[in-house]
Amino acid sequence: MKYPFHVEHTEVSRLSSVDFSNLQFGKLYGDHMFVAECRKGKWTDCRIIPFGNLPFSPASSALHYGQIIFEGMKAFKNAERNALLFRPEMNFKRFNISAQRMAMPEVPLDLWLDSLHELVHMDQEWIPKEQGCSLYLRPFMFAMDRFIGVRPTEFFKFLIITSPAGLYYPKPVKVMTTAKYVRAFEGGVGFAKAAGNYGASMLPLREAIEKGFEQILWTDGNEHKYIQEIGTMNVFFVIDGVAITPELDGTILDGVTRDSVIQLLKHHGTKVEERKISIDEVFDAHQKGILQDAFGTGTAASISTISHIEHKGNMIALPPVNEIPFSVKLKDELEGIKSGALPDIFNWMVKVQSKLLVEAE
């Protein structure tokens, strides 16, 4: 291995205490985690160690200025009990795009893949077998310089933690627009998976939840006219047989699920348009009876049907789930590919393999 790993096994596994039949999202963590450091551009000290708290200085710059980026991925098990990763190089590319924007070091591909493979291999018994469940993987990096002046930093920690997870949105979601807040402007950090994007969305999200919605459907900051994305997902609308999703204009995340859904839709002969779509176009289509479906796409959320959209006090209800032609079928197909139940026609799945195990033999 290009980056040597030190491995320390947990003394007592917590696995037997997990109720896999009742998993919620983001509440439990696997036995081990991966930790590495980057000092002045050099990656060192790669370790797989028991999951636990980290000691660091209260002056660490990430705590003050938010130089923190992350990814969200999932590991699955197929019928042969092989652990599988879904398109890990897509997350690698996006992580480094986020790193670049936040003046952080890029993670080398070898380090990215080796850390994921070794960690998932070690904690593979944590991958749930239950339908719709998976092992959520959270790679993240933050600035560690012990300095509270504002300047680009030189010392970073990169970690991966894992979490056995059920469905993020167990039922169709209600979303609302807001003209009070903006998620991202061109030239900002909307395309990066930077922690601050999510921190800034907490107040709007809390207000939306208090009104009975699951999420905000973000619109552009100039006119609040064009749809961007949902707080945790990219968004698609099916109008008169055409699937429309906002183009990648620098304000939204280049979602791995978005890309996969576009490929699946095209494979089935559905026309896909990546372009500006206004909230008025969606409401007009609903009035004309040609808005067939609306759904969000994301790793945690998979494909979530949208049941209601509110805009400027007007609410539209989408057709009931059993009449929906696209999102439910797409979700079954995508989840089927991920779990190995359906053929992997796009070669998206990567079998987890341990180089450490091979080296030890």
State which of residues 67, 257, 307, 339 lies at the interface with ligand PLP (CB under 6 A).
257
Nearest to 95 by CA among 10, 200, 194, 209: 194
Rg (CA), the chain: 21
**256-267 helix and 88-101 helix, angle to the nearest 10 degrees:** 140
Is the Cβ–Cβ distance between 339 and 76 less than 8 Å?
A: yes
- Residue 304 interacting with ligand PLP (CB under 6 A): no
- Residue 235 interacting with ligand PLP (CB under 6 A): no
State which of residues 134, 251, 297, 327 lies at the interface with ligand PLP (CB under 6 A).
297
Please, which residue, 172 or 231, has the CB nearer to ligand PLP?
231
Q: Report the C-alpha gap between 208 and 188 in whole angstroms.
A: 24
- Residue 163 interacting with ligand PLP (CB under 6 A): no
Q: Report the C-alpha gap between 18 and 231 in whole angstroms.
A: 29
Instruction: Name the minimum Å distance from CB 235 to ligand PLP.
Output: 9
- The DSSP output letter for 26 is T
Nearest to 306 by CA among 288, 285, 290, 324: 324
- Total binding residues toward ligand PLP, as defined by CB under 6 A: 14
- Residue 291 interacting with ligand PLP (CB under 6 A): no
- Residue 258 interacting with ligand PLP (CB under 6 A): yes
- Map the footprint of ligand PLP across residues 315-344, applying CB under 6 A: none
- Residue 166 interacting with ligand PLP (CB under 6 A): no
Nearest to 264 by CA among 351, 329, 339: 329
Task: Using alpha carbons, list the distances in angstroms from residue 126 to 17, 135, 276, 309, 354.
Answer: 11, 7, 41, 37, 16
- Residue 233 interacting with ligand PLP (CB under 6 A): yes
State which of residues 23, 182, 253, 303 lies at the interface with ligand PLP (CB under 6 A).
253
- Residue 298 interacting with ligand PLP (CB under 6 A): yes
Burial class (CB in 10 A: 0-12, 13-18, 19+), 347: exposed
Is the Cβ–Cβ distance between 219 and 261 less than 8 Å?
A: no
Instruction: Name the minimum Å distance from CB 26 to ligand PLP.
Output: 13
The residue type found at 316 is I
Token output for 301: 């959320």
- Residue 256 interacting with ligand PLP (CB under 6 A): yes
- Map the footprint of ligand PLP across residues 110-129, applying CB under 6 A: none
Instruction: Name the minimum Å distance from CB 88 to ligand PLP.
Output: 12
CA atoms within 13 A on the CB side of 240: 7
Is the Cβ–Cβ distance between 34 and 46 less than 8 Å?
A: yes
Q: Which stretch binds ligand PLP (CB under 6 A): 4-12, 24-32, 100-108, 296-304?
A: 296-304
Instruction: Name the minimum Å distance from CB 300 to ligand PLP.
Output: 6
Instruction: Name the minimum Å distance from CB 75 to ligand PLP.
Output: 14
Please, which residue, 124 or 232, has the CB nearer to ligand PLP?
232
Q: Report the C-alpha gap between 23 and 232 in whole angstroms.
A: 19
Q: Would you give the binding string for ligand PLP spanning residues 66-105, x where CB under 6 A is met?
A: ------x---------------------------------
Q: Would you give the binding string for ligand PLP spanning residues 174-213, x where CB under 6 A is met?
A: ----------------------------------------
The residue type found at 324 is I
The residue type found at 219 is T
Q: Which stretch binds ligand PLP (CB under 6 A): 107-115, 145-153, 252-260, 338-346?
A: 252-260
Q: Which residues bind ligand PLP (CB under 6 A)?
A: 72, 229, 231-234, 253, 255-258, 297-299
